[in-house]
Amino acid sequence: MALVFLGLGSNKGNRLAYLLGGLENIKRDIGAIQTQSSVYQTAAWGFFSETDFYNMVVSVLTELSPEDLLRTCELIEKKAGREKKTVRKEYQNRTLDLDILFYDSMQVASHNLVIPHPKIEERKFVLVPLNEIAPDWEHPVLKKKIKELLYTCSDTMEVTKIH
């Protein structure tokens, strides 16, 4: 069994319903959720959108390999109506986005998967909910705890707890 941290986000349609549906699919297809953050609202990161995101982080025990976990996350996104990850390397609005943040303390770098997820340390919308459930988790590459990464994060975007 591996302990994985997944980031969930939605800014299209009924955002809360997509997150809740994502949680149910994670339980069914990936594994038992160990901890779950609150839901947070933030502006879109990396592109302009009129609709803010709802974001959260969960930790899950899974028997899936990193590659199978990625495929399963993509299937869950597709079930939620997600069409494409990006267009011409540009971010877009999405019904459900699932990101593999950490897979135990493993490092993976392949053509379609990088773990830990790149730029965690630059994204308050990931660090704030991650800090809520795992402040002492150590980033295996940066060798800093989540609470340290949040404290030194240069992202000035407001992250507001909603649920």
Question: Residue 97: CB partners within 8 Å, gap ≥ 6?
Answer: 7, 8, 9, 10, 77, 82
pLDDT at 84 over 70: no
pLDDT at 88 over 70: no
User: Distance (Å, rounded) from C-alpha 126 to C-alpha 18?
Assistant: 18
- Which range, 41-55, 90-104, 147-161, has the best average confidence (pLDDT)? 147-161
Q: Is 152 exposed, middle or buried (0-12, 13-18, 19+ CB in 10 A)?
A: exposed
Provide the pLDDT for residue 85.
54
DSSP class of 120: G
**Which domains, from first to last, does the chain contain?**
2-161 (3.30.70.560)
User: Distance (Å, rounded) from C-alpha 58 to C-alpha 99?
Assistant: 11
Which tokens is 113 given? 């998967």
Closest CA to 61 of 146, 151, 1, 8: 1
Tell me the pLDDT tens digit for each residue of 94-125: 789 999 999 999 999 998 899 999 999 999 99
